[in-house]
Amino acid sequence: MSRTPQGQRASLDKQPHEVAAMFDGVAARYDLTNTVLSFGRDRFWRRATRAALDLRPGDRVLDVGAGTGVSTEELAHSGAYAVGADLSLGMLYAGKRTRPQVPLLAGDALRLPFADASFDAVTISFALRNVNDTDAALRELARVTRPGGRLVICEFSTPVNPAFRTVYLSYLMRSLPAVARTVSSNPDAYVYLAESIRAWPDQAALAERVRAAGWRSVAWRNLTGGVVALHRAIRMDA
Ligand SMILES: C[S@@+](CC[C@H](N)C(=O)[O-])C[C@H]1O[C@@H](n2cnc3c(N)ncnc32)[C@H](O)[C@@H]1O
């Protein structure tokens, strides 16, 4: 964990206590900072995640790494029963204050507090990148999903156009931390954000890891030119 006058950030080995503490520090202004730094695109990415999950009224859907519940709230618009789980109590408390109607509970993506095959669908938005064992998290998501159930991962990815990729990486490494200093309650977390996005597998590499973790029919769709990718998959039969 690095501590500076700008706040604190986790290191790239993503120790759970460091990640949770970093998000505790971000929680107070998380929703606003997201919308500012993404130029409002976060709302579109969330709607696309809900559409990709193809939820029906009455479905049970788990949102892992739900944070303040902003991603969970969007899922409930489908009529499904959506519950969020997160490691950071600070994020969960912020969510309880702003969205008291959204069911949120404390839970680690690597040891989810649910029985096998509890959900028709599971999803994880901008959180898989923060878990220190990606493959174990993908297997744990499969464990709590019923055979034939759906997974959608919404995560930052690799822009497909090389010229746009160069501009985007420059925004990520230079402008984004500077803008975060003006809006976030923990600006240093946004240095971690930039570093962790750069170190994250591209679309094809992540798809391969999803497959290896017990999911079939893996496919992805790029959003905003590949700034974000939605990976979707179906839980293999037992
Ligand atoms: C960038 S926020 C995403 C929040 C929300 N899903 C969204 O779309 O805005 C990432 C969240 O993942 C959570 N997180 C990180 N590691 C986790 C883990 N191992 N288990 C559960 N949540 C985790 C963090 O606490 C944080 O709230």
The answer to whether the CB of 231 falls within 8 A of the CB of 209 is: no
Structure confidence by residue, pLDDT tens digits, 151-199: 999 999 999 999 999 999 998 888 888 887 887 778 788 888 888 999 9
Q: How confident is the model at residue 7 (pLDDT cuts 50, 70, 90)?
A: low
Ligand 1 pocket by C-beta < 6 Å: which residues?
A: 16, 19-20, 23, 34, 64-67, 70-71, 86-88, 91, 108-110, 125-127, 130-131
154 bridge partner residues: 125, 230
Residue 111, pLDDT > 60, answer: yes
Distance, CA of 229 to CA of 112 (rounded, Å)? 24
Ligand 1: nearest atom to the Cα of 84:
6
Q: In this model, does residue 3 exceed pLDDT 80?
A: no
pTM: 0.94
Single-letter code of the amino acid located at 115: A
Average pLDDT in the chain = 93
